Amino acid sequence: MKSTYLKKAFVALSILVAVGHAGITFAHDAGALIDGAGNNASATDLAAVTCTDDGNGVPHHLFGRVKDSSSPVPGLLVNFHIYKGQQMTTSTDPVSGDDNYSPGVSLNGGPGTYYISVTKTSAGARDFNVIWHCVTSDNKHTGTDITVLQIQ
């Protein structure tokens, strides 16, 4: 009896752990504070995102967008940039503090390392959240890893 209970508990725990890891695998978002002191108009946060074939297919592009979670300040907006090689794209959250993300942008650079950055239009501390996903040509999520390089 005790042995059966332990086996069932172990199986249930294993399923919960597997489901939890699957959820983490597909949720690529993070938040940070840029220019905490509020005096660096050129503050930039930077990360490297590596897109690989994790069995879902060869990466075609990196998709991303940003949300400014701070209270609105006239003329102070948050920008999201993706670049790889000689290509770059940008999106700006047009309304800070409204709980909506900027328009999504994609850079078609295939597998490999992309760089993403967040900047702002003038001095002032900003809380932001970024979403990023490596995607195949048929819109399947594929291997996505990130390394934070700079937080200002």
Residue 92 corresponds to which tokens in the numbers above?
A: 């700006």
Mean pLDDT of the chain: 85
CATH class of 29-150: mainly beta
Angle at CA of residue 135, ends 64 and 29, nearest 5°: 40
Q: pLDDT tens digits for 49-105?
A: 999 999 999 999 999 999 999 999 999 999 999 999 999 999 999 998 888 999 999
On whether the CB atoms of residues 65 and 94 are closer than 8 A, the answer is no
User: Of 148, 152, 151, 132, nearest to 59 (Cα)?
Assistant: 132
Residue 140 corresponds to which tokens in the numbers above?
A: 């399947």
On whether the CB atoms of residues 119 and 40 are closer than 8 A, the answer is no
Residue 148 corresponds to which tokens in the numbers above?
A: 């934070």
> Looking at the DSSP assignment, which residues form a beta bridge with residue 88?
83
Cα–Cα distance, 91 to 66 (Å, whole number): 8
Q: pLDDT tens digits for 46-64?
A: 999 999 999 999 999 999 9
Looking up tokens 């993403």 gives 116
Domain spans in the chain, listed from the N-terminal domain onward? 29-150
What pTM does this model have?
0.80
- pLDDT greater than 80 at residue 24: no
